[in-house]
Structure 1
Amino acid sequence: MPVPPSSSPSAASPLEAERAHLAASRAALRAMRTETEALNIADVTANWVNAEVLAAEIEARIASLADLAGTPLFFGRLDFEHAIDEDGEHGRRFYIGRRHVHDGDGDPMVIDWRAPVSQAFYRATKADPQDVALRRRFGYDGGDLTAYEDEHLTDPAEGERASALLQREIERPRVGPMRDIVATIQPEQDELVRAPLSGTVCVQGAPGTGKTAVGLHRVAYLLYAHRERLARAGTLVIGPNSSFLRYIEQVLPTLGELEVRQTTVQDLVGRVEVRGTDTAEAAAVKGDARMAAVLRRAVWSGVRMPDEGVVVVRGSRRWRVAAERVAELVRELMERDIRYGAAREALPQRIAHLVLVQMEQAGEAPDDRVQNAVARTPAVKAAVKAALPPVDPAKLVLRLLTDAAFLAEQADGVLDADERRALLWDRAPRSVKSAPWSAADAVLVDEAHDLVERTPSLGHVVLDEAQDLSPMQYRAVGRRCSTGSATILGDIAQGTTPWATDSWAAALTHLGKPDGRVEELTQGFRVPRSVIAYASRLLPSIAPDLSEATSVRDAAGAFGIRQVAGVGDVVAACREFLEREGSVGLIAADTRAPALEQALKEAGLPCLTPGEETTSGARLTLVPASLAKGLEYDWVVLDEPAAVVAGEPDRRTGLRRLYVCLTRAVSGLTVTHAEPLPEELD
């Protein structure tokens, strides 16, 4: 059990010693920041550009050394049986925290949780102590150290037992944005966090297994272990919507990583302004991987084999390249399967090379400068433009969506007549800018753009809620990590889009990472056992191949079903939860949210919208079911499950949406209903 402050010397002395080390560590961190702020770089750089870069790096370093008063500087301690180094240079005791802190002599006072020596804090067990004699966990109230708990891993007299402090940290009330789990990472999670950068990892995680936190902590770990490489190549976190991104945006900064970009798929492919929507049928066709073949055909459809040769005038001489020879060059480039833009860049150089061969045969000695000059001549430029005319990706997609004959030609043998009809717009817009582009259209434009010009690749991409992406969206994400790696996070049982994936193997193939390994997390830490057991009744209908999730937590009285007469009873259920500590989420079908908002207002209960939790101290959030994915609240009232199911285009998708909504609670869930519950929950 945790050891709290007391008047007993046996209890107080170790605790006071730990508090003294915390105070000394905070003082050392302040000294590190002060030392960095005092750096004078006036005469250490060769030019103003280097000075600006160095100044920016110092500013980032200063920001990373901030002491967050309400955040524990360290959360654990390891006492090893032996010194880490054989020569005894590194000692046996290490404090594990969110960042590295050293004293004035450079000796570590806190070790970064990502350092190799810290791994034992998460993975050592009685069966495999990894040379750890003592593992100590610390309990905090805000930034004040209030308790500690010891595990003697090499003591045979001490049995295996659950950590009360670990349990308390998991159950600590959630008000505001998502927080890190750095103090509570479990062994199976730590293995995923520390997986090598070179490989792509796909995490199939049941609700409450911490897959989102694993992905974010993996980013922080990779930036620690491969900072130089990833600083050059870049990292990216992709979430399902802006509300979700606002919810998770503080996790990486609390871990000391301030520069990681976070975005949505829609913003990622934002080459055109999205202002329209698709029918379910059109969206399904546009998201199908076959559209990549249609677009490839369309991009190359304008190629024309030349009828006339190219004549280049150099001084008093004329050099001619026959039309047949230029056509051979075009065909060779097409067979190489390179990007269209690369072919347009290569063709003038190849034509120029043939001219140089003729010059050499005539006794001249041209060099590379002559070849470049020939490639830029009007005759060569005109020949290239005629054979490989410029392609504007947005205009090309617009033509596919508005020109039935052009679409039929490019989709012949790929899409059937009904699918082509679903793609076509009722009328053509006046311009690309005025077009009513949908989110799926923007992905098509992005694909076409990549067919013309290669999309730059990042070093690592984390994709959360990945089960909801279409094959074409997977391709768009895959382009951003074509030479890097990815961490894919999701739960097939929570897929709620018309194109939601039923197979991670297929998803990884679309992503361009068919060799990625799939790992499954089934042990939950967030959702109480009674709640996840109830929600799992839906699994046979929504994801029969998945293992049923379990939970390490069993909160007494955490779950209840209440038949109600109207919205007044739903408001009363919210009020009951507001009498307890922690956040409260009222989740309802999108169509019922306005009426519930009005009822809450009339009852004098102010409510937030998802994402506002990061900027307000209010505790009640009204969550439309369509935005519930990825969010969590201490207490949840789920209004009218049947309406949640009915709000989706088909029953399986509706049941999947209901599964998401049922699994957002950390401490307790009350299901309220006036209509009969879905039969799958019986």
Structure 2
Amino acid sequence: MNDELKLALEDERAAQRRYSQRVRDEARAPIKYEGPQNTQWTGDGRPKFPPAPLGYLLGRVALTHPNDMLGGRNDFYIGERHVELDGVEVFSWAAPVACTFYQGTAHHEWCDDVAVIRSFDHKPNGEIKTLAEDVIRDGVLEVPFEKRALSIPNPAPDARRRPLPRPRPSAPPAPQVVTPLAVPPQGTSAPDLERRPTVSTPAAEPLIRAEAVLRSRMEAPRGKSLRPVLSTLQPDQYELVSYPADQNLIVEGPPGTGKTIVATHRAAYLLNHEAGENATIGDVLIVGPTVGYSQHVRGVIGDLVEDNDRIHVLSTIELAVLLLGSKVPPKGPGSTTWRDCDWELGSMARAAASRLRAKSRHGIAAHEVYDYLRANGKPDLPLTHDKEWATYLVDLPNYPQALQVRAHAALISLIKWTITQHRSLSNVTHAIVDEAQDMTSLEWFLLESINAGTWTILGDHNQRRSDHTFDNWDRVLEMIDVSYDGVAFRQLDRGYRSTRPILEYANKLLPRPERKIRAFQKVGPIPVVMRTSSDDLGLAITSQLARLFEAYPSGTTAVISPNFETIRTLLRARGWQGQHGNVEVWSLNGKTVRVFGPNAARGLEFDAVVVVEPTDFPMNVGRQGPLYTSLTRANRELVVIHIKPLPDALRR
């Protein structure tokens, strides 16, 4: 580390400490409350305080010349919240001016004046670990960032915030540029501070910003839950995160391209008052595929969102449990026949509720609607004349039994929502659906009833796990009543999570035209493929786990297999113990591994993954979505263990 970088780091660390202190002080300041004395409409009548913010500075932007709106300065910071430090502005990451930092395409009026962008990487304790600089206009400034001994004066009682600069309306997107950065070899210290001129990239190659910081993040061990990545959001991701709330958006991309990052950070952006007109006025609902997914993303939501009362993070089964009002989730597969999850079933249920409500003076109950549906209405006024549908309805279990069966959870949830909207979800104006390729038409029918506003839909049809879901977005748009012209389609191409060797192996499962690879992590171990016998399967798994624990001592490891119960039995026989209340987590001598089936693996990531018996993974319409998803959960290393012959595609 050269002297210039040391001095820059010390200066920015001092700014970080002062910024963090100021943000916390402001968060603890008394809130003047003006509201009704009657608490009927406001709960207990007291304002709810947001959790104490972390107070991270994300980076710094130097303009080519001083700016009057900056008090004659030419630089400013981007942070979690707006603060002024000794006259140096720290703008919120959600403010329009942050486009200058993220090099986005929303094009702020200052974007054309950006000279240098400095991005920070933080230690777990919040201290700035290192920094990287992107030079946008070389040779304009001899010293882009003036070093300052910052202090925090007490603001005057009538101190007012300077007006934020406004984004330039209807301007064309800024050209995409990228700055090559010096990236340290693995195991070395942070790079010397090096500023290099910008190099234009081909149109097909997305811009990479803050490359050294991003690479450091990707090579770091995976945590148990997703964390904010505000300092390393890429321009294409920022464009999606900051897309206006009143517009519909569909984002498609292969595994590891950042769809979940976009989903979570977009939710936080839409609820941030600094986003101005781009924010939503109501609540945001995030729907994911599994309970593990919602647990995985709640950490980042908690860190980013100031008003937690306005965001709801639920898996499809958690949404059903909420609407059903049950304490125990229903059991079994999501569907046993396509009729279990077809939108026409929902339409008939809604018609049943409408008929009963028209005749009732005292309201109706969910079991009454369900029983009316089972009976196919009245003999002289059936809900359907289709004989196959009529047979299906008659064969439905009784209401108490249906409540315990997951295949009927979406149906009864819809009935309950149709009768009485659940209060906690009654103000949803934007729904974000991640892993959307796995949503059934009945689930879309239910969500369309809940969401009163616009949509952000993210998915990858190559990871589709069931034939009972749509294989194209056109059908989804029909279900949520959005015209094709009323939605923006975006594609994420670059993979960040998995290394190129992992993606090359997994992509063998895809049709040849869809095997293109654009991996940020180009180097990594070749996947280990190991054949064993039934008698030696337990030994093969535990020996590979021991090796992976040694290779990634601070990382996370998982075993994924359709035969996950067998895997757990084998681990138990070798002294491993399952965590009380969570059969997915197994431990031995301080080491922990998660063991689950392919459905539970969706939306998650780990440093190392062991996939067992690929041939047993279910297929759908000639594709191997569940296996493809499982092979791409690894960030650093993939191991495949099998007894039976591998699928043909993986033997090539």
TM-score, normalized by the shorter chain, greater than 0.5: yes
- 2:216 aligns to what? 168
Residue 294 of structure 2 is aligned to residue 245 of structure 1: yes
Q: Which residue of structure 2 lines up, in the alignment, with residue 517 of structure 1?
A: 488
Residues 1:564 and 2:507 are matched in the alignment:
no
Relative to structure 2, which stretch is displaced further, 203-212 or 137-146?
Answer: 137-146
Flag the 1:416–1:279 CA change in 2: closer, same or farther, 3 A: farther
Letter of the 2:476 counterpart: A
- CA distance in structure 2 between the aligned counterparts of 1:66 and 1:480, rounded to whole angstroms: 33
* Per-residue CA distance 1:170-224 (angstroms, 9 max, x = gap): 2221121111221221111111111111111111121001101101111111111
Between the aligned partners of 2:394 and 2:557, the Cα distance in structure 1 is 41
1:145 aligns with 2:184: no
1:585 partnered with 2:557: yes
Q: Does 1:439 align with 2:406?
A: yes
Alpha-carbon shift at residue 586 of structure 1 (Å): 3.0
User: What is the one-letter code of the residue matched to 1:491?
Assistant: D
The 3-state SS of whatever aligns with 2:478 is: helix
Distance in 1 of aligned mates of 2:463 and 2:607:
20
**TM-score (normalizing by structure 2):** 0.77
Q: Which has the larger radius of gyration?
A: 1
Cα deviation, residue 65, structure 1: 3.5
1:389, distance to aligned residue in structure 2 (A): 9.4
Counterpart code for 2:317: Q
Query: Is contact 2:341-2:442 (8 Å) kept?
Result: yes
- For 2:286 and 2:441, the matched residues in 1 are separated by 19
Q: Is the 8 A contact 2:19 2:57 kept in 1?
A: no
Q: Output one character per residue of 1:337-369: Cα deviation in whole Å (capped at 9) or x when no partner.
A: xxxx5xx5xxxxxxxxxxxxxxxxxxxxxxxxx
**Structure 2 vs 1, CA of residues 399 and 548 (structure 1 numbering), >3 Å: closer, same or farther?**
farther
Quick one: structure 1 residues 100 and 653, their matched pair in 2 at CA, closer, same or farther if it must change by over 3 Å? farther
What is the aligned counterpart of 2:312 among 261, 264, 267? 261
Partner residue, 1:294: 348
Letter in 2 for 1:286: D
1:272–1:442: 8 Å Cα contact kept in structure 2? Answer: no
Query: Aligned AA for 2:103?
Result: R
Partner of 1:356: none
Checking the alignment, whether the CA contact within 8 Å between 1:243 and 1:611 is kept in structure 2 is no
The 3-state SS of whatever aligns with 2:629 is helix
Q: Work out whether 1:659 is the aligned partner of 2:628.
A: yes
Report deviation, 1:510: 0.5
Q: Are 1:122 and 2:102 matched, yes or no?
A: yes
2:59 maps to 1:76 = yes
**Counterpart position of 2:144:** none
Using the alignment, how far apart are the partners of 1:448 and 1:271 within structure 2? Answer: 9
- Percent identical pairs in the alignment equals 23
1:641–1:677 contact (8 Å) kept in structure 2? yes
Counterpart contact for 2:282–2:429, Cα < 8 Å: yes
The partner residue of 1:221 within 255, 269, 272 is 269
Whether the aligned pair in 1 keeps the contact of 2:104 and 2:238 (CA below 8 Å) is no
Find out whether 1:502 has 2:485 as its counterpart: no
Checking the alignment, whether the CA contact within 8 Å between 1:287 and 1:499 is kept in structure 2 is yes
Q: How does 1:626-665 map to 2 (within 5 A)?
A: 626-643=599-616, 645=617, 648=618, 650=619, 652=621, 655-665=624-634
Number of residue pairs aligned between Structure 1 and Structure 2 = 562
1:95 paired to 2:77: yes
596-605 vs 550-559, which moves further: 596-605
Cα deviation 1:357-389 (Å, max 9, x = unaligned): xxxxxxxxxxxxxxxxxxxxxxxxxxx75xx99
1:47 is aligned with what amino acid? Answer: Q
SS in 1 for 2:268: helix
| Change in 2 beyond 3 A, CA 1:586/1:17 | closer
Note closer, same or farther for the CA distance 1:634–1:606 as it changes in structure 2 (3 Å cut): farther
For 1:112 and 1:421, how far apart are their aligned partners in 2? 58
How far does the alpha carbon of each residue in 1:273-311 deviate from its partner, in whole angstroms, 9 at most, with x for none? 5646579553x1132222244335544556xxxxxxxxx
- Where relative contact order (Cα < 8 A, 6+ residues apart) is larger, the structure is 1
Q: Does 1:533 align with 2:504?
A: yes
Q: 1:524 to 1:90 in 2, by over 3 A?
A: farther
> Is 1:489–2:458 an aligned residue pair?
yes
User: 2:330, 2:409 within 8 Å by CA — same for their partners in 1?
Assistant: no
Pick closer, same or farther for the CA change 1:617–1:421 going to 2, 3 Å.
Answer: farther
Which of the numbers 11, 21, 26 marks the counterpart of 1:27?
21
Q: Aligned letter for 1:252?
A: I
Is the aligned partner of 1:158 residue 2:197? yes
Cα distance between partner residues in 2 of 1:393 and 1:171? 51
How far apart in 1 are the matches of 2:379 and 2:462?
A: 35
**Closer/same/farther in 2, CA of residues 265 and 175 from structure 1, 3 Å limit:** closer
Deviation at 1:674, TM superposition (A): 2.2
Structure 1: tracts of 5 or more residues without a match: 68-72, 303-340, 345-383
Q: Distance in 2 between matches of 1:279 and 1:22?
A: 48
Farther off after superposition, 196-205 or 139-148: 139-148
Unaligned runs of 5+ in 2: 140-195, 200-207
- 1:597 paired residue number: 568
C-alpha contact (below 8 Å) 1:607/1:618 kept by paired residues = no
The aligned residue for residue 575 of structure 1 is: 546
Q: Equivalents in 1 of 2:279, 2:379: separation in Å?
A: 41
What is the alpha-carbon distance in structure 1 between the residues aligned to residue 354 and residue 640 of structure 2?
Answer: 56
Tell me the distance in 2 between the aligned counterparts of 1:407 and 1:588: 50
Deviation at 1:611, TM superposition (A): 7.8
**Closer/same/farther in 2, CA of residues 546 and 222 from structure 1, 3 Å limit:** farther
For the Cα contact (< 8 Å) 2:558–2:606, is it kept in 1?
no
- CA–CA distance in structure 1, aligned partners of residues 41 and 382 of structure 2: 54
Written as runs of structure 1 = structure 2, the 5 A alignment for 1:297-312 is 297-299=351-353
C-alpha distance in structure 1 between counterparts of 2:489 and 2:253, whole Å: 10
CA separation in 2, counterparts of 1:607 and 1:96? Answer: 44
1:459 aligns with 2:429: yes
* Distance in 2 separating the partners of 1:639 and 1:108: 55
Distance (whole Å) between structure 2 residues aligned to residue 488 and residue 522 of structure 1: 16
Quickly say closer, same or farther: Cα 1:66–1:632, change in 2 above 3 A: closer
Q: Flag the 1:111–1:87 CA change in 2: closer, same or farther, 3 A.
A: closer
Q: Residue type of the partner of 1:506? A: R
Residue matched to 2:158: none
Taking a change above 3 Å as real, the CA distance of residues 77 and 452 of structure 1, as seen in their structure-2 partners, is same
| Structural RMSD (CA) | 3.6
Greater Cα offset, 192-201 or 178-187: 178-187
**Equivalent residue in structure 2 for 1:550, among 507, 518, 529:** 518
Residue correspondence of structure 1 range 363-402 to structure 2 within 5 A: 391-401=364-374
| 1:504–1:518 contact (8 Å) kept in structure 2 | no
TM-score, structure 1 normalization: 0.73
CA distance in structure 2 between the partners assigned to 1:519 and 1:47 by the alignment: 48
**Which of the numbers 164, 179, 184 marks the counterpart of 2:232?**
184
**Given the superposition, is the C-alpha separation of residues 198 and 124 from structure 1 closer, same or farther in structure 2, using an over 3 Å criterion?**
closer
Counterpart contact for 1:201–1:516, Cα < 8 Å:
yes
Tell me the alpha carbon deviations over residues 225-284 of structure 1, each in whole angstroms, 9 at most, x when there is no partner: 4689978622211122222111111111211433322123334343365646579553x1
- What amino acid is aligned across from residue 555 of structure 2 in structure 1? S
> In the TM superposition, what is the alpha-carbon distance from 1:584 to its structure 2 partner?
3.4
